[in-house]
A and B are shown apart, each in its own frame.
Chain A
């Protein structure tokens, strides 16, 4: 079965420093992978997605993620954090289409704190 693990529940960075949010997945086939962001009291917004094209994916607000099959990872990065990046981030993997369950599987989230 597919699964996704976000390795850090909380990450703190200083404004202007790089951001790294880690995500590992387990899949028996080639999955689609997504990152979502949730600002306080808001819905989830799609940041970026990987769907078997280029392994380095660029998203909105300067975020990007690299799909590494050998490491089963899909880490989210940003060169320079901004105060407005403070939010919760979710890594998501698509379920195996042959399983018949047709699901997205969510990680438990990483809360990013940006220090002034």
Chain B
């Protein structure tokens, strides 16, 4: 089944403890992206990647890192999480940008205390 898989689905962590949210797609998509969704703010893009080893900042990149060493994987790294990073996170992929639309993962609900 074609899908984007995120792990974990739920995560509660403490301030400052490094964490990684994994994202993997099995569709050979070139374009991958991370979003956070907050009430009243909609979806905001954190980082995106056009292809392997090509990443760029979205609208809210502060406090996050990404890497794209393989085409299928696009992990989101929080080096020192803070409470304002408590949010619902989505990974998404697309064959290329612009005309295809995204396939989204099921989301990761992160709580930083």
Contacts and interface: CB of A to CB of B under 8 A. Distances in A.
Interface residues of A, number: 24
B102 interface: yes
A109 B42 CA distance: 7
Interface string B99-113: 111111111000000
B2 to A, nearest CB: 12
Interface size range of chain B in the complex: 20 to 34
Interface string B32-56: 0100000011110100101000001
Interface string A19-55: 0000000000000101010000111111001010000
B48 to A, nearest CB: 7
Interface in A64-116: 90, 92, 94-95, 97, 101-104, 106-109
B101 A43 contact: no
Among A43, A94, A107, A108: residue with most chain B CB under 10 A: A43
B95 interface: no
B102 A103 contact: no
Contacts of A90: 42-43
Contacts of A43: 4, 90, 104-107
Interface of A: 32, 34, 36, 41-46, 49, 51, 90, 92, 94-95, 97, 101-104, 106-109
